[in-house]
Structures are given as C-alpha cells and as structure tokens.
C-alpha cells in the first residue's frame, strides 16, 4: 500500500503476459503480490491447493450490532478460518466500520483479514487514506471492487477524479505496493 518515491522506483513497463501468469520480480520469482516486502497471506493459502474456509461479514450500522458481531467472530475464531473478509456498503456507506472491524479482528483475534474496497464514490486520496489506515492496522489484503452506487441517492455521480472501473483501482493500489 505504501507509495513509491522517485523515478528509480517506477514499475517496469508491462509486457504482454499469458493470461493467468504473473511477472517475475527482481529475484526471478513468480508469485502473488507483495506488500511491504512480505508475501500477502491470502494468495499463499490458495497456493497450498487445500480447501480454504473463509467467513464474510457485513458491518452492522449500530454500535451494539458491531459489538455483537465482533463477539460472534471471536466465538467463530477457534474454527481457524483461512481468512475473514469484511464487506463495505454501497458507495462506501460503511467505510469507517469496515476499516475499524477489519483492523480490530486483525489485532485482537490474530485472524488474517481482507477488507472489501469498492472504488465507486471514492476519490484517489480517499482510497489512499483507507489503504494507509489498513496498513497501519496490520491489514495487508484488500478485495478491490467497483462496487454499487448508493441505492438511496438517485443523484449519485462518480466524482470527476474518481475511479470509473475496478481496474483503475487495482492499478492505483499496484502503484502503492513496495516490492
């Protein structure tokens, strides 16, 4: 998630790759994305070619619901899920609760977590802030999505400097990964 600085840190030009193949890094390895020089946990789980069990939760709107959900996740943690994913509401409506819950699960329960990160309705600096918060909280996996616009806002428009497609969000995140 960390931004690279200086011309020497720019990503190499992308060549044509066979679908599904990953580029080699400086060490000549092919593999999952790296963040802060550490392999991301979730891609590694799937490389083992064993069943991976995960749980997905939607953050409740109320503080009481949030506490009850955290207690439920705590009760489920002995089942040793491969990871836990936390969704985000349409247009980022549960942004704070998604970030907070993902970090709390990571820190207090020690589970591998993944935050859903939709780009709809967010400007690049807002996505950067979310990524920085997740990084500071020990979360290294995100699910980059386009996401849905809020249903209760018929006048919703994508910000002029916002992301139109998930591929733009993925590119933005990739530019922030330190290899």
- Residues with a catalytic annotation lie at 56
Whether the CB-CB separation of 42 and 114 falls below 8 Å is answered with yes
Which residues lie below 8 Å from residue 143, measured CB to CB, with a gap of 6+? 85, 114, 115, 116, 117
Instruction: Specify which residues 20 forms β-bridges with.
Output: none
What is the rounded CA–CA span in Å between residue 38 and residue 165?
A: 27
Q: Give me the count of residues in the chain.
A: 179
Of the candidates 51, 43, 115, 111, which has an alpha carbon nearest to the alpha carbon of residue 76?
111
Compute φ and ψ for 91, nearest 5 degrees. Answer: 65, 15
Measured in whole angstroms, the distance separating CA 56 from the mean position of its chain's CA atoms is 13
């Amino acid at each position: 998630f960390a931004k690279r600085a200086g011309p020497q840190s720019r990503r190499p030009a992308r060549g044509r790759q066979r679908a599904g193949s990953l580029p080699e890094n400086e060490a000549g390895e092919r593999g999952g994305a790296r963040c802060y020089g550490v392999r991301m946990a979730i891609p590694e789980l799937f490389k083992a070619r064993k069943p991976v069990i995960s749980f997905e939760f939607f953050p409740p709107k109320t503080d009481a619901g949030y506490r009850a959900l955290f207690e439920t996740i705590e009760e489920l943690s002995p089942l040793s899920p491969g990871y836990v994913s936390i969704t985000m509401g349409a247009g980022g409506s549960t942004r704070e609760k998604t970030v907070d819950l993902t970090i709390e699960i990571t820190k207090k329960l020690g589970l591998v977590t993944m935050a859903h990160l939709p780009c709809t309705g967010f400007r690049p600096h807002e996505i950067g802030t979310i990524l920085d918060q997740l990084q500071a909280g020990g979360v290294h996996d995100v699910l980059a999505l386009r996401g849905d616009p809020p249903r209760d806002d018929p006048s919703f428009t994508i910000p002029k400097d916002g992301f139109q497609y998930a591929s733009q969000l993925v590119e933005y995140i990739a530019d922030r990964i330190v290899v």
